[in-house]
A and B are shown apart, each in its own frame.
Chain A
Amino acid sequence: MRNKILTVDDSKTVRIIVRKSFKAFDCEILEAANGVEGLAVAAKELPDLILLDVTMPVMDGVEMLTRLKADPHLKGIPVMMLTAEGGRENVLKIAKIGIRDYIIKPFKEEVLVEKVGRIIDMKPLSEAPVKARSILDPADILVVEDKPAIVQQIQEGLKHTTWRVHGVSTQGEAIDFCARQIPDLVIVSLSLPEEAAFTLFRTLRTGAKLKYTPVFGLVVKTDTAVLEAAQQMGISAIITKPIDLGELESKMAKAMNLDMSKRYFDIQGDFLIMQLPENSSPAVLAEAGNYLKLKLAEAVDSGINKAIVDLHQVKTLHMGLIKLLMHTMQTCRELAVHFALVGNTNIATECKGFEDTRAWVFYDTLDVAKSSVGKVAPVQQLVAV
């Protein structure tokens, strides 16, 4: 449920700044121009937090706070003062009535967000279920590693993606980077000197903007003490060195909650194309398999009843791949989808070696496969060609 923040201030300027400060977060900003309006909105909306000015017409902030704390239904709402009234005695007097924090104007928007984030759980807007990001969308990955070769290895290994990999070598540089832009994922070497990775992790988790950013730890597999410490601390995932880049990419996509289906499924005209990559590892096949029924059903729902399974990049046939292909064909038949296979010589030859795959026919190109689909019934097509 979205957090509600009530800003009570007679200055429209302050209310605009508050609204601007939280625009990147999934929260609703409610406004009131004085204490009377503030109490009314608080009673109606029961906000998760109230930001309260002191000097206001009609009813000032001190009186509103006093009345709020005297109301059994409202007294539990945390209040943060946001006011130019900052003399020591004034602050102490107000603090005694019961407040969670006190910000004296002028204030930086980041400070306001950070202090509010300590009281209520602020979710960045990108975490909200608005639009699922896909594997094809750009993302910023921050790698904090003092060994340039590792940074380079990750950059090289992910260069086929649309992700931008930024390398920094110290905790300080990482914090500076995060102040400039919010990364979608952070990979930090757990072997940085003076346990800097752990300090960085704690720092990232205390800021509202980076609270939910996935943080991966890089560690040598044999360093079990560090590995355990990282797991206990709640690091999102551990990547062991030497890095398996396929595994890393897959974990990163999951951690960023990306829709991976676009890697395997695409609509081209009136065809659904299912394409498997060169390295069709068990993880890749499982991922493609997970989307299979959904994507075929979506295609049928939108009026598409022809599919091409494109294996031309796949180097070798194995049992996992055969199972996925048989499952794909079965699902196509169930949904009355006409289909054809595209493959290379190696795959076609290997298929001849198995009883279940001997009858499979592969076309050389997508265009040839497309022109052949639907000319015969799906089941017959497979047997006859």
Chain B
Amino acid sequence: MPATVEISEPLVREHIVRAVVDVFKTMLEQPVTLGEADGGWPPTPPPEPALATPQVVGTVGFLGEMNGLIYLYFDVGFAQTCTGVMLGMSEDEATEDVVNDAIGELTNMIVGSFKNGLCDAGFPCKLTLPSILRGTNFCVEPVSTARRYLYAFNTSGRRIVADILMTTEQ
């Protein structure tokens, strides 16, 4: 199916907001709102709280007519809380491995939902396997051909950051 629309910042924003809101509502029963919109080009660095404390970052890519990667930043405490809610576990039971897997799956669902929107807009692509980054004060540098979109979301006083890198080049 040929592309029916251009990939623009409003389109990216629409799809990522819908994906994050839907996944949090369905899997965690938590409302999420878009915070400081930081989409567009050139991007600014991820908001400060995303890096100052230990982070669990889920990453899933998509390959096809549109290629890209989405990084979702959770602080460690919030990642544990999300895991506990999603799996019906106490935070003590949510060990590092369990949290990694849960955040990987949450990211997979969010990126899946995001890229399904792109597929239906004429950019067929497939998901890659999730991976997890953990650490403090690190940054992701995109290659110069990639477009970068950053969005911060608020939920129950906590923040999640979606860092989207996209390119149409093969």
Taking Cβ atoms with an 8 Å cutoff, the residues of A that contact B are 10-14, 16-17, 20, 54-57, 83-90, 104-108
Contact = CB atoms under 8 A, between A and B. Distances in A.
A85 B127 contact: yes
B102 interface: yes
Interface of B: 1, 22-23, 26-27, 83, 86-88, 98, 101-102, 104-105, 108-109, 111-113, 115-116, 118-120, 124-130
Contacts of A107: 26
B129 A85 contact: no
A16 B27 CA distance: 13
B105 A14 contact: yes
A358 B26 CA distance: 74
Contacts of A104: 112-113, 116
A202 to B, nearest CB: 27
A380 to B, nearest CB: 65
Contacts of B124: 87, 89-90
A14 B130 CA distance: 13
Nearest to B88: A20
Given A84-B109, A107-B26, A17 B129 contact: no
Interface centre among B23, B119, B120 (most CB of A within 10 A): B119
A108 B87 contact: no
Contacts of B112: 83-86, 104-105
A12 B127 contact: no
Contacts of A11: 101, 104-105, 108, 130
B87 A90 contact: no
Nearest to A84: B112
A104 B1 CA distance: 21
Contacts of B116: 84-87, 104
Given A17-B86, A84-B127, A85-B126, A105 B115 contact: no
